[in-house]
A and B are shown apart, each in its own frame.
Chain A
Amino acid sequence: MLIKDIITPGRTLCGIEGVSKKRALELLANTISADVPAIDADDLFRRLVARERLGSTGIGHGIAIPHCRVENAEGTLGALITLKDPIDFDAIDGESVDILFAMLVPERAQDEHLQTLAALAAALNDSAFRDALRSADSHDALFQVATGNH
């Protein structure tokens, strides 16, 4: 899996200020919907929230990977936002979260997306990569860092 295959500059936001967990998920849904019009923002938001109800998608180290299935999507879609102030996310290690990487998979996807999810979690577990993401100071820089073009 390559991160550049699932995010676009339009779905990468850097240093967002003053959000809550709910607001962050809403922002992810809106960002994706703005970039991929076939996806309905409200529906996506509801699905992300439904997934969080099953348990937090915070994987530790201040990272969360909200994920769900969506209709009308072709292949796996992602969106990345970093926050200025970390938010409480109930993550597995209890740390507050400041990097959110949403991952959406089509309704029909079989097992492959689980590998993508695992690979994404593994990539974000690399502390150098996390530090690079956190040090990005603009949307564009964040996109370049995330996709490895810096």
Chain B
Amino acid sequence: MDVLNQLILLAGVLFLVSILASTLSPRVGMPLLLVFLIIGMLAGQDGIGGIEFDDVESAYFLAALALAVILFDGGLRTDIHNFRVGLRPALSLATVGVVATSALCGAFAAWVLGIGWLEGLLIGAIVGSTDAAAVFSVLNMQGLALKTRVGATLEIESGLNDPMAIFLTILLVELMVSQESGFSWMMLTQFFWQMGAGAAIGIFGGRLLALGVGRLALSPGLYPLLALFGGISIFGAAAVLQASGFLAVYLAGLVVGNRVSKGLYNIQRFHDGIAWLAQISLFLMLGLLVSPVSLIGYASAALLVALFLIFVARPLAVWLCLLPFQFSWQEKLFIGWVGLRGAVPIVLAMFPWLAGFENWPFFFNIAFVMVLVSLVLQGWTVSPLARRLNLDVPTTSSRVQRVELGVPGQDHYEFVGYKLAHDSPALKLTSATLPLPGRASLLCVMRGGQPATLEAGDTFAEGDHVYLLATPLELDSLDKIFVGVAEPERLSAQAFFGEFVITPRAKLADLALLYSFEVPSDKASWSIARYIYSQYRYPVVGDRVKLGQVEFVVLEMRDNRLLKVSLKLHK
């Protein structure tokens, strides 16, 4: 009994320390997952905590569960329109890319470490996939606003490439166990079953789950749990049928996130927390599992392979996979760099142990060091690199502090609240001259903790809390009125997007006349939108086309529809 109580205390303290440590992470720019991993290692057998934990089987069980939850949450948060934009490049990276990275990295490992081909390739496969948790958290936490195409490609890639790396790892482990070498048709059937059935179960299960969430009358607190355990069941069902559970659960999350409207906000909020829990437990546990002292012996070998992976194998594979798609060299370089490795390689490194290999610590420790190198080197440098490469699309939303509340029973409206700062544009306005967009309406103003009645001519004051009812689409305009745009952000926005707004319906011929560029006669009657669509299959904010001396930049999109284009003059 005492032991159990101590265990509860220990678990509580470990999580508390991890949660508190997360406040440090943004300040030093250190990837959060690395923090959790290090706390786990410190608490573990060689650290100050001295906790002995080397039950690989239960570690594998917990890790698979945590990964399923993280992938489900990743799917829930992926917008279907972004999914369309990023799907094809991400698929290419998640299939061909994983094979190419694994093969290159494996061949190098076999050569440089002087081990057999199969062993080398197994190392390549183990570290073949990028980590969903690491990529999601690095992209979301550091306030980066990437072009949708780049961000979506990276996120979807990390959601989709685990099944491929798992397949390759299992395949190589089986080959090593059976001592067979060479290709068999069985492998191919296995591959198509894993991916095909995994995808089918995920999509079908997701639809069923979305239907359940929409139709069942439950106590409100149970909907998020219904979604969570629905997702876990889908993972389990696919895995039991020998299909890819990870693929199924990611797609299920995507379907649920985009089909459910009732209470989706609550579901996402809940899963945000649960995904944190899963990430913290996963990395704490992996940190506990490893014995840092034994890592030292493998450090130099693993460092070599990791550097090859980071600087050669991944960039080369990315370049190859993205050839058919529209990415600038900066974007390709960046995608190559965000090949963050995380929990999946460490989990895959347990497979040799599960298969009864005697030399399993070799694979486990090599993979672990490689993940550490990747998290430190890449995780730490992602946002400076994005800024250096000018991939950060200027946004205004990063600074905006607003309170959003769902309106009970109304899916399409939200209550929003702003606290007016000293530089709010609204201070120059009165409640009568407020240029409120569309259906937004002013509900009340709190001044000095009291509701204030504003007469038509009264101006707003600094420190006022203003509450409105609005649709989600109007929030951007409200931000502009109540928060405004800071000067440096405005300048960078103007440098990026240009000076003027152009309606997507503007005819090329009219624009050509004003801005002196040539238009082929067959395109004279085209609108600028049609021209942009002819250049980009799925345009995203920030995409640009150059005509003569001017550039047209996609300024605003909604659901793959061009809303606004901007015109940039060259100096």
Taking Cβ atoms with an 8 Å cutoff, the residues of A that contact B are 50-51, 53-61, 65, 67-69, 88, 90-96, 109-111, 113-115, 117-119, 121-122, 125, 127
A residues within 8 A CB of B513?
Answer: 69
B92 to chain A, nearest CB (A): 36
On whether A54 and B502 interact (CB within 8 A), knowing A94-B477, A114-B515, A118-B571, the answer reads yes
Given contacts A54-B502, A90-B501, 9 further A-B contacts (CB under 8 A): A55-B502, A55-B564, A55-B567, A65-B500, A94-B481, A111-B516, A114-B550, A114-B569, A118-B499
Number of interface residues of B (CB under 8 A): 34
Shortest distance between the CB of B178 and any CB in chain A (Å): 65
Return the contact of A54 from the options B435, B497, B499, B510 (Cβ within 8 A). Answer: B510
B569 — which chain A residues lie within 8 A by C-beta? 114-115, 117-118, 121
Question: Which DSSP category, helix, strand, loop or mixed, fits chain B's interface?
Answer: mixed
Residue of A nearest to B477 (CB): A94
Chain B residues proximal to chain A, CB less than 8 Å: 425, 435, 477, 480-481, 485, 487, 490-491, 494, 497, 499-503, 506, 510-511, 513-516, 548-550, 555, 564-567, 569-571
Residues on the A chain within 8 Å of B481, using CB:
94
Expressed in whole angstroms, the minimum distance between the Cβ of B468 and any Cβ of chain A is: 16
Complex: chain A residue closest to B502, CB-CB: A55
Q: Which residues from chain A contact B548 at a C-beta distance below 8 Å? A: 111
Whether B506 contacts A127 by the Cβ 8 Å rule is no
Once A55-B500, A55-B506, A118-B499 are accepted as A-B contacts, the answer to whether A60 and B490 lie under 8 Å apart by CB is yes
Minimum CB–CB distance from A119 to chain B (whole Å) comes to 7
Across the interface, which residues of A come within 8 angstroms of B570, CB to CB? 114-115, 118
Residues in B with CB closer than 8 Å to A94 are: 435, 477, 480-481
CB distance from A123 to the nearest CB of B (A): 12
CB distance from B527 to the nearest CB of A (A): 10
Closest to A68 in B: B514
Residue in chain B with minimal CB distance to A110 = B516
Q: With the chains together, A55 CA to B562 CA distance in Å?
A: 14
CA distance A127 to B515 in the complex (A): 27
List 23 A-B residue pairs with CB atoms under 8 Å apart, sorted by A's residue number: A53-B503, A54-B502, A54-B503, A55-B503, A55-B564, A55-B567, A56-B501, A57-B500, A69-B514, A88-B435, A92-B497, A92-B555, A95-B425, A96-B435, A111-B548, A114-B515, A114-B549, A115-B570, A115-B571, A117-B569, A118-B499, A118-B569, A121-B569
- Bound together, the chains give a CA A125 to CA B502 distance in angstroms of 19
Residues on A with beta carbons closer than 8 Å to the beta carbon of B425: 95
Taken together as a complex, chains A and B put the C-alpha atoms of A90 and B503 apart, in Å, by 11
CA distance A115 to B555 in the complex (A): 22
Kindly list chain B residues whose C-beta atoms are within 8 Å of the C-beta of A93.
480, 485, 490
Q: How far is the CB of B409 from chain A (nearest CB, A)?
A: 31
Q: Are A121 and B501 in contact (CB under 8 A)?
A: no
Q: Which of A68, A91, A95, A113 has the most CB of B within 10 A?
A: A95
> Could you tell me if B511 and A125 are in contact, using CB atoms closer than 8 angstroms?
no
- Chain B residues near A68: list those with CB within 8 A: 514
